[in-house]
Amino acid sequence: MHPPPWPAELFLFRGADRAAALARVDALADALRDHARSLSDLACAIGEGEDGVQIAIVARSRDDLAKKLAMAHGGKTHSSGVFFAGSEPPGKLAFLFPGQGSQRVGMLGDLFGAFPELQHLLELGARWRSTIFPPLPRDHEEEVAQQVALTDTRVAQPALGIAGLAMAQLLMRFSVRPNMLAGHSYGELVALCVAGALPESALLNLSELRGRRILESCANAEDAGTMAAVSADTATTLRHLAGIDGVVVANENSPEQTVISGPKLAVEQAVERLLDASIAAKTIPVACAFHSPLVQGACAAFAVDLARVDIAPLTQAVYSNTTTARYPSSPEEIRALLAEHIGKPVRFAAEIEAMYAAGARIFVEAGPGRVLSGLLGRILGKRPHVVIACDRAGENGVVQFLLALGQLAVQRVPVDTGALYGTRRCACEYERE
């Protein structure tokens, strides 16, 4: 008995070279005209083989497939679902986990529905489930209230932990395994969990505690501070901060984006000065001045929380926002760096440069949204690299995940598509004739 149809199917065309793969494209085009097979049967049959993947297509219908099979002869990648293997040798694969700000109501809901094995994460995080997946809002006011509830730091962080773990586990189910990992701000905790330092349950509890400690550190302060995004590099930004007390660089995101943090009036003064210098800058709606001295008190409190958690040695390389180098191996050093991380700047651009120097060429944003994917392009510019996002707000999550798998496959990343079909037998034998 066939399971319900997917909203799309992934077609992988293998061959010793592109010409051999195009022969299989033509064979499928003929089969599409001659046989009334389902898309899933066709995709299952064409995906088998030992040769490397030369062409990947994601199709939503038979008509869409026919159109994209014709497009394959043009040799041009199309973001709607036609991808080609390049001439560059494959590089190392990195998973990147987004931080606070990437969360959204209903995130990855299509994937949780399509892959029941992910449900254990929602059960583990049951106390946040109704905030991530609330009932359909009755009106705009309720919709806004649901979004606000998920921005609470004590909720946003464990919610992002659930989403990051779900995406990482789904990728690895298809045999997509990273050579190195990193995260932006909070996302670093998810990277450490996926790399074996933390159990899943410990990650979610620590995520809530981390958010709580940050808010507690400035709860009694007259000024909890704020943050602002600046369209300039760090050196330029710092030049314009001279003489403004308390404002620091919180995020070194890319050569074109820096985030500053500090007391509200001081940050507003900095924004005015930057605007006067024709540098785009605007404040960000946040609960407090993250990654600044105003939240330094959270470091000691979080260190106490971390001391109660068993931390295992890492099984994979994880890069640090703080040092931009690989995380140390001992549990004590991991605890110390994690506690310090709260009050230190996120040196994301330099961290990505370090990963690139270590051989990373394929970067997968393993979580909701595409914030990090945008930053990667600005950091690495025209140097050889591939950035793959697994999710796009407003689009079907299963389709977006298949697009990511297709892009990974043509980068010579092993992709086990058997998990897409389960126990289904391939009902189409045309390519073996």
CB 263 within 8 A of CB 247: yes
Q: Which residue has the tokens 């697994």?
A: 390
Distance in angstroms (rounded) separating the CA atoms of residues 258 and 265:
19
The highest-confidence range among 24-38, 45-59, 243-257, by mean pLDDT, is 243-257
pLDDT tens digits for range 344-403: 999 999 999 999 999 999 999 999 999 999 999 999 999 999 999 999 999 999 999 999
Taking the CA atoms of the chain, what radius of gyration do you get in angstroms? 23
The Cα 73–Cα 132 span in angstroms is: 43
List strands edge to edge, sheet with 248-254. Answer: 248-254, 257-262, 226-230, 281-284
328 φ, ψ (degrees, to nearest 5):
-65, 165
What is the pLDDT at residue 427? 47
For residues 70-90, average pLDDT: 89
Sheet holding 53-59, edge to edge: 9-14, 53-59, 82-84
C-alpha 359 chain-centroid distance: 19
Among 383, 415, 358, smallest CA distance to 179 is for 358
- Nearest Cα to 117, choosing from 172, 187, 158, 156? 172
Average pLDDT over residues 290-303: 95
pLDDT band at 433 (very low <50, low <70, confident <90, very high): very low
Residue type, 331: P
Question: Max Cα separation, the chain?
Answer: 77
pLDDT at 423 over 50: no
Which residues fall within 8 angstroms of residue 30, CB to CB, at 6 or more apart? 430
Strand 226-230, strand 281-284: pairing? antiparallel
What's residue 188's pLDDT? Answer: 98
- Asked whether 269 and 242 are in contact (CB, 8 A), the reply is no
Residues 6+ away with beta carbon under 8 Å from 418: none
92-209+295-394 shares its CATH topology with 226-284 = no
pLDDT at 218: 85
Residue 431: pLDDT over 60: no
Residues in CB range of 86: below 8 A, 6 or more apart: 410, 411
For the segment(s) 9-85+418-432, the CATH number from 3.30.230.10, 3.30.70.3290, 3.50.70.10, 3.50.50.60 is 3.30.70.3290
Exposed, middle or buried by CB within 10 Å (0-12, 13-18, 19+), for 276? exposed
Which residues have C-beta within 8 Å of that of residue 172, sequence separation ≥ 6? none
Strands of 386-389's sheet in order across: 317-318, 180-183, 92-97, 360-365, 386-389
> How far apart, in Å, are the Cα atoms of 363 and each of 177, 198, 205, 355?
12, 23, 28, 10
Output the pTM of the full model.
0.93
**pLDDT over 90 percentage in the chain:** 85
Please compute the mean of the pLDDT values over residues 403-421 and round it to a whole number: 90
pLDDT exceeds cutoff 60 at 428: no
Question: Sign (positive/negative) of CA torsion 271, 371, 147, 131?
Answer: negative
pLDDT at residue 221, as a whole number: 78
Instruction: Tell me what pLDDT residue 3 has.
Output: 52
The residues spanned by each domain of the chain are 9-85+418-432, 92-209+295-394, 226-284
- State how far Cα 397 lies from the chain centre: 13
The model's pLDDT over 40-61, given as tens digits with 9 standing for 90+, comes to 888 888 877 778 999 999 999 9
What fold is seen in the domain 226-284? Alpha-Beta Plaits (3.30.70)
pLDDT (0 to 100) of residue 366: 98
According to the model, what pLDDT value does residue 146 have?
95
CATH of 92-209+295-394, one of 3.40.50.720, 1.10.4160.10, 3.40.50.150, 3.40.366.10: 3.40.366.10
Across the chain, what does the average pLDDT equal?
92
